């Protein structure tokens, strides 16, 4: 059985402001004070794990130990089926040191040019780590299609090239509240809430 979350404060173990904003909005109904790793000036650990779960846990554990508070981290990525799951774990790295996702999206389009299969999925693994080292992890996925060219300026990362199944707009065209209701992160978050908050 998962551990209940009863803390007053939670660190969002991320330096990605789009991700921090999305997670903070998802946490808003639970009256938990949230603070980001950036606000606490916490170091960003190297993501050396070989899975999304390992990287999420690594980031949450580093923030929990440094801040002495419970920490929630997300590791997520875009997995394109025709590319063998790439960029996958390296989704952020495809954007380079400057985090230029227009470059990363152009690389996806370039590599996908000769394939008919444009199917893809976003995956998110959330890791919640307490200062005593206890960890709970939750995974969410959403399937969709890569579109070329990119559309929309909302969201972040690969959102402008991903059309979720059952929809005609990219995540980059969704209003934030509508997107947050159906993302891979929302799916993982609902599992976390059901297990640890409700």
Name the strand (E) or helix (H) holding 145: strand 135-146
Q: What percent of the chain has pLDDT over 70?
A: 100
Proportion of the chain in helix, strand, coil states, percent, rounded to 5:
40, 25, 40
**Whole-structure pTM value:** 0.90
Sign of torsion over alpha carbons 43, 105, 146, 50: negative
Q: Does domain 9-197 have CATH number 3.40.50.1400?
A: no
pLDDT at 112 over 80: yes
* Token pair of 88 as six digits: 């996958």
75 included as an active-site residue: yes
Catalytic: which of 74, 75, 86, 159? 75
pLDDT of the residue at 175? 93
d(CA 177, CA 174) in angstroms, rounded, equals: 8
Categorize the per-residue pLDDT at 62 as very low, low, confident or very high, splitting at 50, 70 and 90: very high
Q: Which residues of 131-163 are buried (b: 16+ CB within 10 A; e: fewer)?
A: eeeebbbbbbebebbbbeebeeebbbbbbbbbb
Q: What three-state secondary structure class fits 162?
A: strand
Per-residue pLDDT band for 56 (boundaries 50, 70, 90) equals very high
Q: What is the mean pLDDT of residues 80-107?
A: 95
Q: What confidence tens digit (pLDDT) does each residue in 129-151 have?
A: 999 999 999 999 999 999 999 99
Answer for the pair 195, 136: CB distance below 8 angstroms, yes or no. yes
Whole-number pLDDT of residue 197 = 85
- At 45, phi and psi to the nearest 5? -70, 155
């Amino acid at each position: 059985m998962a551990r209940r979350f009863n803390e007053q404060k939670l660190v969002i173990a991320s330096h990605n402001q789009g991700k921090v904003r999305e997670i903070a909005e998802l946490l808003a109904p639970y009256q938990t004070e949230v603070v980001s790793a950036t606000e606490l000036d916490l170091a960003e650990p190297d993501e050396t794990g070989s899975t999304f779960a390992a990287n999420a846990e690594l980031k949450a554990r580093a923030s929990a130990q440094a801040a002495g508070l419970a920490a929630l981290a997300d590791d997520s990525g875009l997995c394109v089926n025709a590319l063998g799951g790439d960029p996958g774990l390296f989704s952020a790295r495809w954007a380079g040191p400057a985090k230029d996702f227009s470059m990363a999206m152009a690389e996806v389009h370039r590599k996908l040019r000769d394939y008919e299969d444009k199917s893809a999925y976003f995956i998110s693994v959330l890791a919640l780590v307490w200062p005593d080292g206890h960890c709970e992890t939750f995974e969410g996925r959403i399937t969709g299609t890569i579109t070329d060219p990119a559309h929309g300026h909302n969201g972040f990362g690969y959102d402008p090239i991903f059309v979720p199944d059952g929809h005609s707009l990219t995540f980059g065209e969704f209003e934030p509240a509508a997107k947050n209701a159906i993302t891979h992160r929302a799916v993982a978050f609902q599992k976390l809430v059901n297990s640890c908050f409700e």
